[in-house]
Amino acid sequence: MELQVTAELRTVWKQTLAQLSGAARRMFMASVVKGLGRGGARQAQLQLGWDRTTVRKGLHELNSGIVCVDAVSQRGRKPLEARLSNLEADLRAMGEATSQTDPTFRTTQLYRRLTAGEARRRLVAEKGYAPAEVPSERSLRRKLRGSANYESPFKSLGLNRRGWLRQP
């Protein structure tokens, strides 16, 4: 028995697919294609706009009972530490050379007086990095702000981020 694709079925299947993702989505597609019978993958491609390779993967999962694991976490751009393994140590060494204590002696925390632009210039000049492989100033600024002893430009003036004087 083969299913006939009607307009109502098409809308129900598209709404169901919109709510599913990953393996559950592929299993649903495979069960619909199996219900369509011989040539169901081609029919699903033409009438529903489904990708045949996704349907084929779903059919394989449905027949074998083994769910293929997607490596979604492996996609995308690698972090700076993966590409430049010594970057963090070099930034730390440069920061320790330029760090100072709180001028008011209210805390024992050290503050790093190193801007992202200066860090980028010193990585190229002193540490021997190629200019093309050094991260942008924005990336270095994020990396420096993530460290514990980054000095906020407002803190040295005694102001908070809105420009108000900080209460001691």
In the structure encoding, which two tokens stand for residue 61, read together?
């999962």
97 and 146 co-located in one domain:
yes
- 4-38, pLDDT tens digit by residue? 788 898 899 999 999 998 889 999 999 999 988 88
For residues 123 and 138, give the distance between their C-alpha atoms in angstroms, rounded to a whole number.
15
Instruction: Give the residue among 80, 155, 147, 144 at the shortest CA–CA distance from 115.
Output: 144
Mean pLDDT of 121-150: 82
Cβ count within 10 A of residue 32: 22
pLDDT for position 53:
92
85 and 134 co-located in one domain:
yes
100 and 133 co-located in one domain:
yes
pLDDT for position 89:
85
Mean pLDDT of 125-131: 90
Question: Mean pLDDT for the chain?
Answer: 81
Instruction: Answer yes or no: is 112 within a domain.
Output: yes
Instruction: Answer yes or no: is 28 within a domain.
Output: yes
- If one compares 116 and 155, the residue with the highest pLDDT of the two is 116
Instruction: Answer yes or no: is 160 within a domain.
Output: no
**What is the domain extent for residue 125?**
80-154
Identify how many contiguous H helices and E strands the chain contains and give both numbers: 9, 2
58 and 91 co-located in one domain:
no
- 101-117, pLDDT tens digit by residue? 777 777 777 776 778 88
pLDDT above 50 for 69:
yes
108 and 48 co-located in one domain:
no
How many domains are there within the chain?
A: 2
